[in-house]
Amino acid sequence: MAAAMAVRALRALPHIRIPALPASCSLHTTPPRLKTRAARVRVGKGDKAVTYEKAHPPHYIAHRKGWLSLHTGNLDGERCAAQRAVEDSFVRRFLHGTFPGCLADEAVLKRRSNSLLVCLLLLRRLPPSKLCFLLGYAETLLSHLYKCPVRIEAQTVPDAAVYKYL
């Protein structure tokens, strides 16, 4: 009993191989490799087109990348950074659903005093009148949801700009 507990305790530590005791069934494990996987596109066969934004992992922010969401919540003495983060993620999901398949890249959200500026890069998949409809709809709905003026500045591109293939 104590031996089994000791075996389990030892097994919890990484990098230690212990032979299985006959009284307990065990898994064969390899030493776990703790890799960071955040915001990284893994290298594949070379057919995945990747934009500049996606190709750079997050440690390149402020070196090769800018920020996708700009607000003053993280400055000293400022509050409500978490609320801004929640609002941002909602807005991104909303835009992803409202413009189906038309987003060429992540939206950039900027907050200037009271207003929220959404800078979108859209593909030319829909006819322009439908895009105008969706833009008017999104602006009004987001304004009413967040009780602040929301302006969408959209730019259309024929194709998403590919930075490299991974």
Instruction: Report the interface residues with other proteins, using CB under 8 A.
Output: 124, 128-141, 143-148, 153-156
The nearest distance, CB 49 to other proteins, in angstroms, is: 22
What the block records as the tokens of 124 is 């030319």
Q: Residue 84 — left, alpha, or beta (φ > 0 → left; ψ -120 to 50 → alpha)?
A: alpha
The nearest distance, CB 21 to other proteins, in angstroms, is: 59
The nearest distance, CB 114 to other proteins, in angstroms, is: 8
Round to whole Å and give the CA distance between 111 and 2. Answer: 60
Q: 8-14, long-range: CB within 8 Å, 24+ apart, which pairs?
A: none
Compare residues 41 and 154 and give the one whose CB is closer to other proteins. 154
The nearest distance, CB 144 to other proteins, in angstroms, is: 5
Round to whole Å and give the CA distance between 131 and 124. Answer: 9
Compare residues 4 and 86 and give the one whose CB is closer to other proteins. 86
Compare residues 55 and 102 and give the one whose CB is closer to other proteins. 102
Compare residues 41 and 117 and give the one whose CB is closer to other proteins. 117
Side chain identity, residue 54: K
Compare residues 153 and 162 and give the one whose CB is closer to other proteins. 153
DSSP per-residue string spanning 47-109? --EE-HHHHS-GGGBTTTB--SEE-STTSTT---HHHHHHHHHHHHHHHHHHSTTTB-SPPEE
The nearest distance, CB 145 to other proteins, in angstroms, is: 6
Length of the chain: 166
